[in-house]
Structure 1
Amino acid sequence: MRPSTRLAPRSLSCLYGFLLFLVVVSTGASAQERTAVIGTEVTVSQWSDPLEALGTLRADESVTISATVTAVVREVNFGDGDEVEAGDLLVQLEDGEEQAQLRSTQALRDERANAVSRATQLQSRNLGSRADVEDSQAQLRQVEAEIDEIRARIMEHRLRAPFDGVVGFRDISPGSLVTPGDELTTLDKLDVVKLDFRVPEGFLSTLERGQSIRATAAAYEDQTFEGEVTSIGTRIDPTTRSVQVRAEIENPERLLRPGMLMITTLERQVRDALVVPESVLIPRGERQYVLVIDTEDDNRVEQREIEIGERREGQVEILEGVDEGELLISHGVQRVRDGDQVELLGIANDENGIRDILERHRDDRDDA
């Protein structure tokens, strides 16, 4: 198959800007001695050393609702995917036998309570012994314990939501016979999700709670989810030589689901750093240089050696060699030498793009 040569819109835009820049520079060079350039300022911004890993999502709380007794389903009070609150009755099992036992035992309790009352009155008149009173009281306590036991069995017939969450599929109907361990539905708390991923043990010293993470999922390619590290494993896996890390991500719209695979970027060693576009760099062997514009000396250029740190898409961290606010040449670098005086067409930043600068300069020349 013949490879495609179609350029992405962003690439076409960059190519258009570069060609336009060459036209403007060529026109400017023929009209005057100074070379036209575009500058950029050295700025301070938040920087970090990203570490990528694959992670799997888990619900903040997750449970399988199952029966603990053998009984027939009487009521099902939820539908597929319903949101429920803690304490909501999800499934009611038949408990007629237990209810009958409860009424019988309650009647027996009333009888035992009356017996205690009679024995106490007889003792107060010296017509009964203290032992008879104590025996009657013991029998009453016994029947009260039986009532508590029956009520506990009745509660086993009422399956309630242990926390706020979203139920799964409903696979049972009234009249179904369930036995202990039968899965009736699932319940997940999804307003917050947990993301588990593994990091090589060599990075253990750079991990700490509270670190920021960014994650993306195949289902939402254009969306980035942010969270923070909440816990770090206490053991290193001897097979993979990695440690498990857990982060939490807010999920108010319920977009993320347990089991999803996410590409996770962990922001390590967050700091304020001097940042410039990669286009300012002039590599020579293992050394890096930039061209600094001295606006107080009529835009004279000084070539200066710098020390760079980490890189990220389109940007580079500068450790030494320049200061915040200094003006560097970002476009036109190859046409300028140390000591030259240049024509500054504009300063590129987030609000003033290269294409805007070049088109504005071309319009000014046309008007002139």
Structure 2
Amino acid sequence: MTHSSSLPRLWQRASCSLLAAALLVSLWLVMPGAQAQERTAVIATRVVTQPWSDPLEALGTLRADESMTLSATVTEIVAELNFGDGEEVEAGQLLVRLEDGEEQAQLRAAQALRDERRNALSRATQLQARNLGSRADVEDSQAQLRQVEAEIEEIEARLASHRLRAPFDGVIGFRNISAGALVTPGMELLTLDKLDVVKLDFSVPEVYLSALHPGLRLTARTAAYPDATFDGEIASVGTRVDPVSRSVSVRAALPNEDRRLRPGMLMTVVLQRRPREALVVPESVLIPSGERHYLFVIDETDDNRLERRQVQVGERRTGEVEIVEGLAAGELVVQHGLQRAREGDRVALLGIADDETTVREILERGRGEENDQASPAQGDV
């Protein structure tokens, strides 16, 4: 009795289970996109054209654009100093004046004699005009006047050696003399350097000689300013190759308006050889396979379908790579989400990374949107 009465209940339970399963299947069939696979979310970057070059590194030493040491040419006492340590001076500015009292006295005497002989020449000329004097007297007076004028020029030249002036605009070094000191010929009085532009001398192996020419751009760095990069260009290339080192000397010019660079500094030089416009992508988009390189291109005209494409790479630099063949400017390539990307899949594009928007910013923005969508549902509960 008990066994026969339980059969209707078993059939009833089975019928309910089949009905529930049928309802779930029907709901799954009518759910939007249930039959379609969920799209892989990716972040892309656009292929751009950028200036590119092949780097060549070297070590160089800085020199002032113009540099000199001012020395005395006479034995005399320093009467006046018109400069201080590290002062900027202009061309022609008086820097040092030596005692010149004796020369000044000689100059005044010679100038007085010149005036006398000018008067004598004038009288001789007037007498000759009235036939009261001879031509020889006039010529003698002219010769005597020229003689005293030559003496004046000689004295003025000696006076000029008592005054040391700046030959060009520049910066004074340390002052090692004082007023009243006795100086002698050849004694170094001060240094003067022109630093608004500095020269950078370095050597390059002769195999790169064909790539060197005046105007070639370069960048330079120094340990004194580790976060700074200084731009310049080649000014001249040496006319000879060192037979021992097989290298050629190169001189570059670097602007230095802020006077940060000093003569004698060691700098690391990077020459920008073969400057050109190149297709550039982040190095992280590449998928290496042996000696070949692939990447995923997003076909925007086919509902963001992925295409695995082989490319030929050129030179590399920090975080970037040159694409020689296989891509066109403006195409979209997958940068984030490569692990789950498959050829032929259609992807959900979270954003496009560029100079203004990073991958991290796109990811953080996506998380923020997910949190915003989840918050109302939690409130309803």
TM-score exceeds 0.5: yes
Structure 2 distance, partners of 1:219, 1:350, is 29
Structure 2 distance, partners of 1:136, 1:145, is 14
Shift of 1:343: 2.5
Structure 2 distance, partners of 1:363, 1:174, is 74
Shift of 1:180: 1.0
Structure 1 distance, partners of 2:355, 2:122, is 88
User: Given the alignment of the two structures, is residue 104 of structure 1 paired with residue 109 of structure 2, yes or no?
Assistant: yes
Secondary structure of 2:366's match?
helix
| Aligned match of 1:146 | 151
The one-character-per-residue Cα deviations of 1:152-187 (angstroms, maximum 9, x if unpaired) are: 100100011111111111111111111111110111
1:249 is aligned, of 240, 247, 254, to 254
State which drifts further: 332-341 or 174-183: 332-341
User: Given the alignment of the two structures, is residue 56 of structure 1 paired with residue 50 of structure 2, yes or no?
Assistant: no
Shift of 1:259: 1.0
Structure 2 distance, partners of 1:364, 1:143, is 98
| Aligned match of 2:6 | none
2:282 is aligned, of 249, 273, 277, to 277
| Aligned match of 1:292 | 297
1:166 is aligned, of 168, 171, 179, to 171
| Aligned match of 1:305 | 310
Aligned positions of 1:126-275 closer than 5 A: 126-275=131-280
The one-character-per-residue Cα deviations of 1:309-357 (angstroms, maximum 9, x if unpaired) are: 1000010000110111111111222332322222322221122211122
The one-character-per-residue Cα deviations of 1:186-242 (angstroms, maximum 9, x if unpaired) are: 111111212222221111111222222211111111111112222222222222222
TM-score using structure 2 length: 0.85
Rg (Cα) greater in structure: 2
Secondary structure of 2:131's match?
coil
Secondary structure of 1:194's match?
strand
State which drifts further: 328-337 or 142-151: 328-337
Structure 1 distance, partners of 2:194, 2:149, is 38
Please tell me the root mean square deviation across aligned C-alpha atoms, in Å.
1.6
| Aligned match of 1:74 | 79
TM-score using structure 1 length: 0.88
Shift of 1:297: 1.7
5+ residue gaps, structure 1, are: 1-30
How many residues align structurally? 338
Shift of 1:96: 1.0
Structure 1 distance, partners of 2:282, 2:310, is 16
The one-character-per-residue Cα deviations of 1:108-157 (angstroms, maximum 9, x if unpaired) are: 22222222223223322333321221122111111101100110100100
Letter in 2 for 1:69: V
Secondary structure of 2:107's match?
helix
5+ residue gaps, structure 2, are: 1-35, 375-381
| Aligned match of 1:95 | 100
The share of aligned pairs that are identical, in percent, is: 70
Structure 2 distance, partners of 1:54, 1:69, is 42
User: Given the alignment of the two structures, is residue 83 of structure 1 paired with residue 94 of structure 2, yes or no?
Assistant: no
Secondary structure of 1:126's match?
coil
Letter in 2 for 1:176: A
State which drifts further: 121-130 or 154-163: 121-130
